[in-house]
A and B are shown apart, each in its own frame.
Chain A
Amino acid sequence: MLFLDHIWLIPLFPAFGAAIMFFFGRRLQKATVSAVCVGVVVVAFLFGCGAVWQYTHWSATPEHYHQPFQKIIYTWLGSGDGQLNFVKRDGTLASFNADAGFLLDPLSSIWLLFVTGVGMLIHIYSTGYMAHEGGYYRFFGYMNLFMFSMLTLILANNYMLLFVGWEGVGLCSYLLIGFYFHRNSASTAANKAFIVNRIGDAGFILGALTLAWYLGSFRFTDINKLAHSGSFAIGDPVLTAAALLLFVGGCGKSAQLPLYVWLPDAMEGPTPVSALIHAATMVTAGVYMVARSNAIFVLAPTAMLVVAIVGALTAVFAASIALVQNDIKRVLAYSTVSQLGYMFLALGVGAFAAGVFHVFTHAFFKALLFLGSGSVIHAMNGEQDMRNMGNLQRHIPTTYKTMLIATLAIAGVFPFAGFFSKDEILWQTWTKESDAYRILWFIGYVTALMTAFYMFRLMYLTFYSPSRMSHEVEHHVHESPKSMTVPLVILALCSIGAGWLSWPHSLGGSAHFEKFLEPVFAREAVVLSEEGKSAQLAAGEKEAEHTDKTEYLLMFLSLGAAAVGWGMARRSYLNAGKGYVEPIAAKAPPLYTVLYNKWFVDEGYDYVFTGRRKLGNIRLGVMGAGEASSWFDAKIIDGVVNDVGWVTRAVATLSTWWDKWIIDGVGVNGPAILARMISYPVRLFEWGLVQWYALVMVAGLLGFGVYYVWK
């Protein structure tokens, strides 16, 4: 059990590589950098293979049957003795604990394998692609740091450690998008990715804390146990809220509506970065997290429905934009957003295994497409505009062949990988109990048609149509070195064969992949089918027809969509010479304008959220509203307050004046002054000598006496 017991080493290998690059990278030769950084990922891949192999044996033993393997190194947050206590929703005390713990179960096994595997191939490819670039060690240091973060995310046994990886991959994504930091567009794209992801991360952390508050633990095993215990009703509002918040996180990381805007801009990074981070691995972290939280999600049908609807809408929305883009990497970026939408559609309809399977196959063919486009760009000496390409199949045959395989895979052509995973998703959506899901199926189906069209458009414009290159460029076009083509070939083989792991029953297969994932999703299937049964009973005993016939029909329809898309692209672009006109632009110019400008979502966000758009001096949107309300507060509310104050003061001044001069002056002091004036002559008689008064009395008496005597 060497590998399984030391599973915690897996993320540390790339971390070691990143540390070397960080401290000594500047002084190392390019060859040394390649050896160290590719080497650690190869070791991680081999170690991962060993761990998964040992896990399959371990979980087959009776005492560990279908158990997840958990290895807790130490308690990372909190100390286990209840120092960080909090009161749960039900009033009991729980301690805030997060382990530095690692979990291996079928779900993380799959991610572990394809992340390290595809990561390894992309690292090898990068040694060729980045050979002439500056900052070589910096690039590989970031790539290794990314691998470390992604593996932490995958292997974490609780939401907090997962969040560490989650933020780590976000950071590396930021660093690598902004790798060409001297380009303004790259640094703004990096900022955009980081900022938009913050919105999602806020949702994620709130969701995880809600779960902890409600269930008392961050650990997946504990949460699953509680969710399975049956003590929570289906549709529990708190769990629904938690699930929706987690999905907000998933929307940010996995580029779903309305937070997908950062992913197309992330193409500013070097192409291997686009392949590794923005196609194969990091953007599937949201899918991983939702799949990991499946026990919560099945208890929240509303959240599931939201996931399914957002997924389906994202799929068709991004595919519609991809129809008319000219930058080869942008087409692939929107294609990635669209395929991620498929994955969420699958999760939303409860087909977790199908969603995970699509992640798995998508990792190969999308990584291949990106690496192939990188090879094209490399050959074209940095040119990314498909209008300036054409007829490259002759110059770069290996790239052409491998990309054709990837295109067939993503378009869903039998027997390439995408056929199996995409078909499984559409089939699961179709067979969902409620008929309303048929709308989602239809959206998915239209998306499949669009996917075939834009992918073959890309192929025709790049490889088949008459050359639109300048002679100078055409002269220099060259096939990429072995270090780039070998990964392409390996990925092409995977793009063909990966789908066979889940060969459907209807075609005589045994769906190994689904069976492998059964321990993770089995209980959820039970919950969902019970839920479905009750829904069916309510709907009047409608019997869902799980017949092979329908499945064959749907498969046939899917292949038809791929064929139609192919045919349309062939007719439109096979002979696209210099200055060709897009068929959509010719037939429906307004639609073309809207699609070409990506539904004006970025402009809309500019108007609504960023406040960069101004009308005169006034910002528009939320910032503008903030400023407007600030202005309203300062000028109108405070103005009214101040005016009222002014009026009060004026009235008070007047009233003071009235009191002082009229009441006091005329009413009170006036009579007093009058009395004083009148009394003045009188008081002169009273000068204070008592004996004078007495003398006057005596004189008066004598006067009276004399008067009476005389009379």
Chain B
Amino acid sequence: MVPITTLHYLVVAAALFVLGVIGVLTRRNVVIVLMSIELILNAVNLNLVAFSRMWGNLHGQVFAIFVVVDAAAEAAVGLGILIAFFRNKETINVDEIDLLKW
């Protein structure tokens, strides 16, 4: 059995990251976009944890916990904005959210 090396982790994380980016770029529903951003953040978490394991210290893991907290906060704020927006516009399609253009 081939041992699982850091490289494996990085490949999985890169795959997750690409999936997240594609989701952000292509989906119209803001909820899906937010979920895709979660994917990107978790890809980063995976990298952090993998490098932590490689170096044998806990710095990366601590950092990953911070990122999880950050992600939770970001989701909360994002969904809050989303609800407020829906009340006004009755839509959550990202291509229709264009109020801040010039």
Which residue of chain B lies nearest to A688 when distances are taken between CB atoms in the complex? B98
Question: In whole angstroms, what is the CA distance A687 to B97 when docked?
Answer: 11
Nearest CB in chain A: distance from B36 CB, A: 10
Q: Is the CB of B95 within 8 A of A694?
A: no
Residue in contact with A687 in the complex, picked from B21, B24, B94, B98, CB distance below 8 Å:
B98
Q: Is the CB of B95 within 8 A of A686?
A: no
Nearest CB in chain B: distance from A684 CB, A: 9
Q: Is the CB of A691 within 8 A of B102?
A: no
Interface string of B89-102 (1 = CB under 8 A from A): 00000110111111
A2 interface residue (CB < 8 Å to B): no
Counting chain B CB atoms within 10 Å of each CB, which of A690, A695, A698 scores highest?
A: A690
Q: Is the CB of B95 within 8 A of A698?
A: no
Q: Is the CB of A694 within 8 A of B98?
A: no
Which residue of chain B lies nearest to A687 when distances are taken between CB atoms in the complex? B101
Question: In whole angstroms, what is the CA distance A653 to B44 when docked?
Answer: 69
Question: In whole angstroms, what is the CA distance A698 to B100 when docked?
Answer: 21
Q: Is the CB of B24 within 8 A of A686?
A: no
Question: In whole angstroms, what is the CA distance A687 to B102 when docked?
Answer: 8
Known contacts A698-B21, A698-B25; A691 and B101 CB within 8 A of each other: no
Question: Does more than half of chain A's interface fall in helix, strand or loop, or is it mixed?
Answer: helix
By a CB distance below 8 angstroms, the chain B residues around A689 are: 94-95, 98
Residue in contact with A690 in the complex, picked from B21, B26, B97, CB distance below 8 Å:
B97
Which residues in window 1-32 of B have CB below 8 A to A? 21, 24-26
Which residues in window 47-102 of B have CB below 8 A to A? 94-95, 97-102
By a CB distance below 8 angstroms, the chain A residues around B100 are: 688
Which residue of chain A lies nearest to B102 when distances are taken between CB atoms in the complex? A683
By a CB distance below 8 angstroms, the chain A residues around B26 are: 691
Question: In whole angstroms, what is the CA distance A689 to B21 when docked?
Answer: 16
Question: In whole angstroms, what is the CA distance A599 to B25 when docked?
Answer: 120
Which residue of chain A lies nearest to B99 when distances are taken between CB atoms in the complex? A688
Question: In whole angstroms, what is the CA distance A687 to B100 when docked?
Answer: 9
Q: Is the CB of B102 within 8 A of A694?
A: no
Question: In whole angstroms, what is the CA distance A686 to B102 when docked?
Answer: 7
By a CB distance below 8 angstroms, the chain B residues around A695 are: 25
Question: In whole angstroms, what is the CA distance A691 to B32 when docked?
Answer: 13
Residue in contact with B94 in the complex, picked from A686, A691, A698, CB distance below 8 Å:
A691
Known contacts A683-B102, A686-B102; A694 and B25 CB within 8 A of each other: yes
Which bucket holds chain B's interface residue count? 10 to 19
By a CB distance below 8 angstroms, the chain A residues around B95 are: 689, 691
By a CB distance below 8 angstroms, the chain B residues around A691 are: 24-26, 33, 94-95
By a CB distance below 8 angstroms, the chain A residues around B99 are: 688
Question: In whole angstroms, what is the CA distance A683 to B99 when docked?
Answer: 14
Question: In whole angstroms, what is the CA distance A351 to B27 when docked?
Answer: 130
Which residue of chain A lies nearest to B98 when distances are taken between CB atoms in the complex? A688
By a CB distance below 8 angstroms, the chain B residues around A679 are: 102
Nearest CB in chain B: distance from A617 CB, A: 75
Residue in contact with A686 in the complex, picked from B25, B33, B97, B101, CB distance below 8 Å:
B101
Nearest CB in chain B: distance from A279 CB, A: 109
Question: In whole angstroms, what is the CA distance A695 to B25 when docked?
Answer: 6
By a CB distance below 8 angstroms, the chain A residues around B97 are: 690
Interface string of A672-691 (1 = CB under 8 A from B): 00000001000100111111
By a CB distance below 8 angstroms, the chain B residues around A694 are: 24-25
Nearest CB in chain B: distance from A206 CB, A: 85
Which residues in window 35-53 of A have CB below 8 A to B? none
Nearest CB in chain A: distance from B56 CB, A: 29
By a CB distance below 8 angstroms, the chain A residues around B98 are: 687-690
Which residue of chain B lies nearest to A695 when distances are taken between CB atoms in the complex? B25
Question: In whole angstroms, what is the CA distance A688 to B95 when docked?
Answer: 8
Nearest CB in chain B: distance from A596 CB, A: 105
Question: In whole angstroms, what is the CA distance A698 to B26 when docked?
Answer: 13
By a CB distance below 8 angstroms, the chain B residues around A690 are: 94, 97-98
Question: In whole angstroms, what is the CA distance A688 to B99 when docked?
Answer: 7
Nearest CB in chain A: distance from B41 CB, A: 15
Question: In whole angstroms, what is the CA distance A695 to B24 when docked?
Answer: 9
Nearest CB in chain B: distance from A661 CB, A: 28
Question: In whole angstroms, what is the CA distance A698 to B33 when docked?
Answer: 15
By a CB distance below 8 angstroms, the chain A residues around B102 are: 679, 683, 686
By a CB distance below 8 angstroms, the chain A residues around B94 are: 689-691
Which residue of chain A lies nearest to B21 when distances are taken between CB atoms in the complex? A698
Nearest CB in chain B: distance from A304 CB, A: 101
By a CB distance below 8 angstroms, the chain B residues around A683 are: 102
A residues apposed to B, CB below 8 Å: 679, 683, 686-691, 694-695, 698
- Ordered by A's residue number, 5 sampled pairs between the chains whose C-beta atoms are within 8 Å are A688-B101, A690-B94, A690-B97, A690-B98, A691-B95
The 8 closest A-B pairs by CB, nearest first: A688-B98, A688-B101, A683-B102, A686-B101, A695-B25, A686-B102, A689-B95, A691-B25
| Given A687-B98, A689-B95, A695-B25; 13 other pairs, CB 8 A cutoff | A679-B102, A683-B102, A686-B101, A687-B101, A688-B98, A688-B99, A688-B101, A690-B94, A690-B97, A691-B25, A691-B95, A694-B24, A694-B25
